[in-house]
Structure 1
Amino acid sequence: MSKVILITGASRGIGRSAALLAGARGWSVGVNYASNAQAADETVAAVRAAGGKAVAIQGDVRDEAAIIAMFDATEEAFGKLDGVVNNAGIVAPGSPLAEMDIDRLRRIFDTNVLGAYLCAREAARRLSRSRGGKGGAIVNVSSAAARLGAPNEYVDYAGSKGAIDVLTIGLSKELGPEGVRVNAIRPGLIETDIHASGGRPDRAQVLGVQTPLGRPGTADEVGETIVWLLSDASSYVTGAILDVTGGR
């Protein structure tokens, strides 16, 4: 069955992979991006080539009005939503907490926590049956850092993802009666460009060999898990936090 999905931060990495895999199922995808319009347009073209429909939607998740607008744009293009992937997030260069300034902390928490909560809130409003929605699924993108702590690298990022785990558990209990499943994935060392934004482009390769599976993961491997959680194949799964970490 064809679905309508909104993915935040879908122009690169895990979000892009999830969008392409959704397209391969014939789904319609709202491809949200913050600033890289070219990457978003390339993702849209790839989703269409895979067999789906897609539209690029600019919007910073730190902006409440932009979030509402991206939900509106997806539904105007394709109809009522079936699912939302709460994926947009950032990391800053590795540093112990003692060296982090207030601007960095605000940027991390405004994007990764407040932005994610606002997206989840809007998803709850759109999907809940008592509010006119048709039920569906929310997939929150957390991180293995939420349980590992990321010491001397980014405990701020790790803390922001811990909040996503708690959001997932609480919201799944709120929305279960509304026909909405809420789950999270915790990626581990995945080959995406987020590591470069943290100052260590080779981080996944260097540390990935230390996992039980002996390698870093790919964005597609995480994307497959996201699409499964969005699909009817996971119809009895809610409140789950799935590690996609190669055993790390």
Structure 2
Amino acid sequence: MTEVSQAPLILITGGGRGVGAATARLAAAQGYDVAISFVSDEASAAAVAADVEAAGRRALAVRADSADPEQVERLFGAIDQKFGRIDVLVNNAAVLARQSRLEELGFDRMRRIFAVNAIGPILCAQQAARRMSYRHDGRGGVVINISSAAARLGSPGEYIDYAASKGALETFTTGFAKEVARDGIRVNCVRPGHIYTDMHASGGEPGRVDRVKDTIPLGRGGQPEEVARAILWLASPEASFVTGAFLDVTGGK
């Protein structure tokens, strides 16, 4: 039986680590019930869910690969079952592969990066729109896509496929924001810069932020909580007239 929640519900894909986990914890502190998806690290996702519940909010952690439409459908079905609503979607899940020049990139890598980083958010937004949109008798809502400064900078010699996938996500943000504006859905994008997360290890350089921090005008890397605060501002009524916008959290880079 569906239990209709009175608290707003936020879904954060890839919510078991880094920016996603920081956003989940801050959202709980701000009064949201929290659903997160994860792919492999069940222990980390369970720890985030436990922190949400310790803050007095309800939590749901679901194993779901956002690049798989059937898993995305099951994720939203689980949210329907437990909460009976969704108010905010944060498309945070993303993958990064080892630093490489274009000549060395394999097709399977390119396909996986675009599947998770570009198609995945579209699939999740599609499910969210079916629940949020006025045209589907929804209450409205907010979608926040997590891009990267790489979409502007290009990441030459390191991650140009990742940067290109985030560029696609940004174009989707612009179009989707215009498409659903009259349906009560605001769609915005946060562009983190060099942030201290485990993601850099996936690229083969765990200490990357420290290596490049002198190229950042503020002279330091960012913390996941600093990105989380930007996300939750965009989710809040304080940003009620903001849609189709891009918020850089890059230290000026």
Question: What is the TM-score with the length of structure 2 in the denominator?
Answer: 0.96
| Number of residue pairs aligned between Structure 1 and Structure 2 | 248
Q: Report deviation, 1:2.
A: 3.2
Deviation, structure 1 residue 27: 0.7
Return the alpha-carbon distance in structure 2 between the equivalents of residues 125 and 143 of structure 1: 27
Quote the residue 2:178 is aligned against: 173
1:47 Cα deviation after fit: 1.3
- Structure 1 residue ranges without an equivalent (≥5): none
CA distance in 1, matches of 2:22, 2:194: 16
Q: Secondary structure at the match of 1:209?
A: helix
When the two chains are superposed, the root-mean-square deviation of aligned CA atoms in Å is 1.1
Name 2:7's counterpart in structure 1: 2
Give 1:196 deviation, angstroms.
0.4
The letter of the residue matching 1:82 is: D
Q: Distance in 2 between the 1:75 and 1:228 partners?
A: 25
CA offsets 1:196-218 (integer angstroms, 9 cap, x no match): 01101001122123211110000
Aligned pair partner of 2:106 in 101, 106, 109: 101
Partner of 1:91: 96
The one-letter code of the counterpart of 1:160 is S
Aligned-residue offset at 1:35 = 1.3
What is the deviation of 1:111? 1.0
User: Structure 1 residue 134 and structure 2 residue 148: aligned?
Assistant: no
How many Å separate the matches in 2 of 1:223 and 1:49?
19
2 CA distance for matches of 1:160 and 1:20?
Answer: 27
Q: How does 1:181-192 map to 2 (within 5 A)?
A: 181-192=186-197
Alignment of 1:11-30 (within 5 A): 11-30=16-35
Residue 21 of structure 1: how far off its partner (Å):
0.6
Q: Deviations over 1:52-98 (max 9, x none)?
A: 22111110112101101111212221221111001110000000111
How does the TM-score come out when normalised to structure 1?
A: 0.97
2:158 maps to which of 150, 153, 175: 153
Q: Which runs of 5+ in 2 are unaligned?
A: 1-5
Paired residue for 2:245, among 210, 234, 240? Answer: 240
Structure 2: how far apart are the matches of 1:125 and 1:162?
25
The one-letter amino acid paired with 2:168 is A
Given that 1:137 and 1:230 are in contact with CA atoms closer than 8 Å, whether structure 2 keeps it comes out as yes
The CA deviation at 1:51 is 3.1
Q: Distance in 2 between matches of 1:208 and 1:50?
A: 34
Q: Where does residue 167 of structure 2 map in the other structure?
A: 162
Q: Which 4+ stretches in 1 moved above 6 angstroms? A: none
Q: Which moved more, 1:101-110 or 1:181-190?
A: 101-110
Sequence identity of aligned pairs in percent? 48
The code of the aligned residue for 2:196 comes to E
Q: 1:224 aligns with which of 229, 232, 240?
A: 229
Cα distance in 1, alignment partners of residues 79 and 230 from structure 2? 22
Q: How does 1:102-121 map to 2 (within 5 A)?
A: 102-121=107-126
